[in-house]
A = this chain, B = another copy of it.
Amino acid sequence: MQKYEIAVLPGDGIGNEVMPEALRVLDVIGAKYGVRFDHRHFDWSCETYRKTGRMMPEDGLDRLRDHHSILLGAVGYPGVPDHISLWGLLIPIRRVFDQYVNLRPVRLLPGVTPPVRDKQPGDIDFWVVRENTEGEYSKLGGRQNEGTDRETVLQTASFTRFGTDRIMRYAFDLARKLGKPHVTSATKSNGIYYSMPFWDERFAEISQEYPEIRVDQDHIDILCARFVMTPERFDVVVASNLFGDILSDLGPGVTGTIGVAPSGNINPEGRYPSTFEPVHGSAPDIAGKGIANPIGQIWSVGMMLDHLGLTEAGADVVAAIEQVLGDPTAPRTPDLGGTATTEDLGKAIAEAI
């Protein structure tokens, strides 16, 4: 029997509520496909930080290293500044495990009413490919004259050819694999003087390796506007760390799926485990009530299965989500206009598989 070891980190807030539903689905998939998923739990969170002054133990990354994948809930909670909780857990995992691709679907789903008008499921269906290890997210910088009127803060983004080329190739390869021969690059070379003209150069260069793929390049300001105005025109969008972060929240915002969208933090070569997590955060406002929507976490399981090579199982999970969402008699959590609990919705999806 095939066996996968999954590190499970529910994290903070609703992470703890949606994770059991994801594991429920994972177990159903295991039974159906005759595959074993061993899950090992790690309770690292802002709670851990409050107790120990660290988000995870010193050897935390080593303890994760030997898993096939990491399933993460949500990190961050009021009382612990975000830049501490994130740079103490989420971001080191992304970087040390060289998860240089952050991959997120933007898809209009049945049963979900998007804020934009005149769009049907099928009209909007694309992927945001975000660079996940360098760029604008950096600890390069600092403060001068702190606490005075002359205080100055510098923050340096760093872009390497190595890091830029590989994310672009991933985007082009994905477009090829999906049969969506169109890649859009997010830039801002008219305002950001050094890094973005470099980004454009690399995009022009790498695109030549994929002559059959149509390319577009939009400044991030107008690109965001186009996500709202003409979302149907996108297939694969490649972006830097910050721009990808923005686009991969905005996209699900446009399709009304921000509460249910998943993401993969992927090391494509499989040298290190990849992390799968919902796009939503720990949602302190509804935490503890048992009403959080578990679909983002469950869909993350779907992406994980796909990454592990269990393509059919991954497609099953997505199909089950679509089936339940499209069925007006199925349970719905309050964010979808219903009164169901997290567990009700999780069970319905597990049964649909």
Contact = CB atoms under 8 A, between A and B. Distances in A.
B250 A221 contact: yes
Nearest 7 Cβ contacts at the A-B interface: A225-B253, A82-B190, A221-B249, A155-B195, A151-B161, A141-B194, A117-B117
Interface stretch (A63-71, A132-140, A175-183): A132-140
Interface stretch (A1-9, A47-55, A240-248, A336-344): A240-248
B229 A250 contact: no
Interface string A220-238: 1110111111000000000
Contacts of A137: 191-193
A249 B225 contact: yes
Copy number in the complex reads 2
A32 interface: no
Contacts of A150: 160-162
A83 B115 contact: no
Contacts of A136: 191-192
A152 B141 contact: no
A136 B317 CA distance: 41
A91 B188 CA distance: 14
A142 interface: yes
Contacts of A191: 83, 86, 91, 136-137, 241-242, 245
A254 interface: yes
Given A154-B194, A192-B242, 12 more contacts: A83-B190, A140-B154, A143-B198, A149-B162, A153-B195, A154-B156, A154-B157, A155-B193, A155-B194, A221-B248, A225-B254, A229-B253
A220 B194 contact: no
B81 A197 contact: yes
Interface in A81-109: 81-83, 85-87, 91
A170 interface: no
A35 interface: no
A207 interface: no
Interface in A187-208: 188-198
A318 interface: no
Contacts of A148: 161
B153 A156 contact: no
Contacts of A252: 225
